[in-house]
Amino acid sequence: SVFRPGLFKHKVAIVTGGGTGIGKAISAELLELGCNVVISSRNTGRLEAAAQEMRLKLPPTSPAAVTPVQCNIRNESEVKELVSSVLKQYGRIDFLVNNGGGQFSSPAESISSKGWKAVIDTNLTGTFHCCQAGMTHTADTNHVVGKQILILWRFIHTVYSAWMKQHGGVIVNIIADMWKGFPGMSHTGAARAAVDNLTKSLAIEWAASGVRVNAVAPVSAERVLNCVHCWKCVFPGLCIFTTCRVPFFQRLRWRTTRILGLTYSGCQFHTALPKDWEFQKRCLTVERHKFHKKACSKKEKKPHFAFAVSAQISSAVCFLLSPAASYISGATLKVDAGQSLYHSMWEIP
């Protein structure tokens, strides 16, 4: 970590989705800085494995501890149990990192009500659950914002009501690079945009309680970098799927061909659209692809051009949790090397 050892000594953090990817990196860095970390997700096996890996890296003299707790953030009772168990074990909750989420790619017209609800419940309502649970006199919001937003709100409000309302604290929500829309995953884009707005609303409402609320918007993560053929094309046009054997990208390749009206044969894309709507004309010649192509060529010489890896994202989160950000609230920090400033890859039909 770039931060001084012991920065978060005796602090307590909850990190949802803390067993893999960005959440795991955030948890590991907090632990390294002396923070007691409770990691949660639905998959108990991954949680236990991640916790054991983190423990092995801790020096014997470290006072910090990592505790895995199984929790489905879409389930209000499980969220309340998680918060209660943390308060019972540690007696405080200083930080909440809402990283848990899930999504799948699909054209908007093909998203079922069940699929939409699953993504909104996990990414939006789940975050809300983490902040809200424990409020005994909360008004019935089902008719105002719907059950989707309720999950996210309950988590946030649970932690707020149970501890932060009286003692202060810091909340960081992990969203995504969705500023120019999210074609192919419109449900995810909608959920992440809602969390961004919720972040700003809560920052104002809870400021008097000494609670800071911010968001981090990474452009990508380590899972993408693990595949040399695919990391360049997840955003600039999904154009180099040739020899990838990573299951995530195999599914993404298949779904992308369906979304764009293409058929996949061997290592070649064959368009089923009119010639002037060809895949390469629609995606490969736009400015964002040029940026990523240039970034790829400069990756070794200038690492900041590459996609952000989990460790870089976790450092941004730790900064927002630290005293150095004590006057920052309601902000969304983009961890994307300026890529969100470039024009969208999605041309107007």
pLDDT in tens, 193-207: 888 998 999 999 999
- Provide the whole-model pTM: 0.71
Structure token pair of residue 10: 């005796």
CA dist 308 and 314 (Å) reads 10
Does CATH place domain 12-221+308-341 in 3.40.50.720? Answer: yes
Cα distances (Å, whole numbers) of residue 82 to 15, 64, 157, 300: 11, 19, 13, 43
| Helices 76-90, 142-159: crossing angle, 10 deg rounding | 20
Q: Which two tokens stand for residue 94?
A: 């200083």
What residue ranges of the chain have pLDDT lower than 50? 133-148, 221-246, 248-249, 257-289, 291, 298-305, 347
Give the dihedral sign, CA 261/307/41/202.
negative
The radius of gyration of the chain from alpha carbons, rounded to an integer in Å, stands at 21
Q: Supply φ then ψ for residue 315, to 5 degrees.
A: -65, -40
Are 133 and 86 spatial neighbours (Cβ–Cβ below 8 Å)? no
Instruction: Identify whether the C-beta of residue 171 lies closer than 8 Å to the C-beta of residue 98.
Output: yes
Specify the pLDDT at position 331: 98
C-beta of residue 310 within 8 angstroms of C-beta of residue 219: no
Residue that the structure tokens 């890896």 belong to: 309
Q: Do 19 and 45 touch, CB atoms closer than 8 A?
A: no
The C-alpha atoms of residue 313 and residue 304 are separated, in whole angstroms, by 12
pLDDT (0 to 100) of residue 221:
46
All structural domains of the chain with their residue ranges:
12-221+308-341, 225-305
Report the distance separating Cα 55 and Cα 320, nearest Å.
Answer: 24
Inter-residue contact 161 to 133 (CB < 8 Å): yes
Q: What's the pLDDT at 340?
A: 75
Whether 107 and 72 have beta carbons less than 8 Å apart is answered as: no
Please give the Cα distance from 141 to 119 (Å, whole number). 19
Other C-beta atoms lying within 10 Å of the C-beta of residue 69: 20
Which stretches within 33-141 are classed as H helix?
44-57, 76-90, 113-120, 126-132
What SS3 state is found at 270?
A: strand
For 171, phi then psi, to 5°, come to -120, 130
Judged by DSSP in three states, 5 sits in: coil
Say how far apart CA 144 and CA 154 lie, in whole Å: 15
